[in-house]
Chain A
Amino acid sequence: MPVVSMTVNGKSASADVEARTLLVQFIREQLGLTGTHVGCDTSQCGACVVHVDGRAVKSCTMLAAQADGADIVTIEGLAKNGELHPVQAAFREHHGLQCGFCTPGMIMTAVDMIRRKPDLDEETVREELEGNICRCTGYHNIVKAILAASREMR
């Protein structure tokens, strides 16, 4: 069994896992970080999005072993000193969630998108959310929250 080691939210984590362990299983089951969700088995919903070396990826579509040596950030790693990340705060302020199941993936996708494209407009946000599915909100308030956060973070 491969030993995989990575940094997760600034702390090093290491474990002996089966080669077939997905990154999302490693995060949820080995590390107990259950903020990262699994919403599908077809790589389409985006509930599992985390950052691997600074880029948003679907942690259900990557082996833990592929992330050996990587720097991972999950939803639990965004708030600093008890202060919500601006994107988290904007989702609360603008009602960007209802049941909340899709929210961790939406927020990790949003943080990545704002980093890559500081000058977001509505059309771009909707395009960039292609890989994140929400069954509740109709997306409208998610888009509003992301636009508000991107303005705040400029």
Chain B
Amino acid sequence: MYQFNYERPKTLADAEALLGKADDPKILAGGQTLIPTLKQRLAMPSDVIDIGGIGELDFIRAEGDAVMIGAATRHATVAQSADVKKHNPALAALAGSIGDPAVRHMGTLGGSIANNDPAADYPAACLGLDAKIHTTRRLIEADEFFKGMFETALQDGEIVKEVTFPHPEKAAYMKFPNPASRYAMVGVFVSRGPWGVRVAVTGAGQNGVFRIAEMEEALAKNWSPDAVANIKVPATGLNSDLHGTAEYRAHLVTVMAKRAVAAAG
């Protein structure tokens, strides 16, 4: 790891001030992506601003027809939350399927979506549930937030504060995990709610998470696994690596979508 200056602010306002002052700062949340990156010397920030001590970013609140989750809330906390389990069991199950118990004890919602790994799970939940992402500067719709592989709409110094997940009527996430890393080879999040129907796919796309309009239309007419069973996604633009070809991933998208609809009931 290269040297850096470390700060642990107690409030969001202090964190913003520190980010504004530093040369080339990085936000540290759970560290489950950033610390491995620093260890490999793939990043060389001047300052590491640890937001893990900011109490106002660590909360889960059910209010009206949505659950609000603070950006620094750990995956394990979301997975165990009575409010999330009650209103959005698919989201709780997704959080509980990330990595392993030690990773879930540290990793956070904000870190996961800010990182936007093309195989990460939370981006599929945000896109699949029409989530609203609140930052220190504005509100960003999930549709506008995820911009490509490891790319988001966030600007320098902008901090994710919380994510609002509206309650779905039905929802489920089906993940085909890479047997070694447990990241999604393909993960499909399906939902039905006030926003209509959404089908969001992670793990497969070269540009990260994406929606499948054809499946959404078919499910809006007929919410059943059969409705998507014959909808194939093209292999162009999908990931190909030693774990699976683009064609294999394209096939898995349909299989996972079918299973997700069945699981959502």
Contacts and interface: CB of A to CB of B under 8 A. Distances in A.
A20 B101 contact: no
Contact of A46 (B50, B76, B102, B106): B102
B6 A19 contact: yes
A130 B182 contact: yes
Contact of B31 (A41, A66, A132): A66
Contact of A20 (B1, B52, B100, B102): B1
Which range contains the number of A residues in contact with the other chain? 20 to 34
Contact of A109 (B3, B76, B101): B101
A68 B35 contact: no
Interface centre among B28, B106, B182 (most CB of A within 10 A): B106
Contacts, number: 79
A62 B101 contact: no
Contacts of B4: 19-20
B40 A20 contact: no
Given A56-B105, A61-B106, A46 B6 contact: no
Given A49-B102, A131-B103, A61 B35 contact: yes
A58 interface: yes
A56 B103 CA distance: 9
Contacts of B3: 18-20
Interface in B7-33: 8, 28, 31-32
B5 A19 contact: yes
Interface in A89-122: 109, 112-113, 116
B198 to A, nearest CB: 28
Given A19-B6, A63-B6, A113 B101 contact: yes
A16 B3 CA distance: 15
Most buried by A among B100, B102, B103, B182: B102
18 contacts: A19-B4, A20-B2, A22-B39, A56-B101, A58-B102, A60-B39, A62-B106, A63-B50, A65-B50, A66-B8, A66-B28, A68-B8, A109-B102, A112-B101, A128-B101, A130-B99, A130-B101, A130-B182
A113 B102 CA distance: 10
A112 B4 CA distance: 32
B66 interface: no
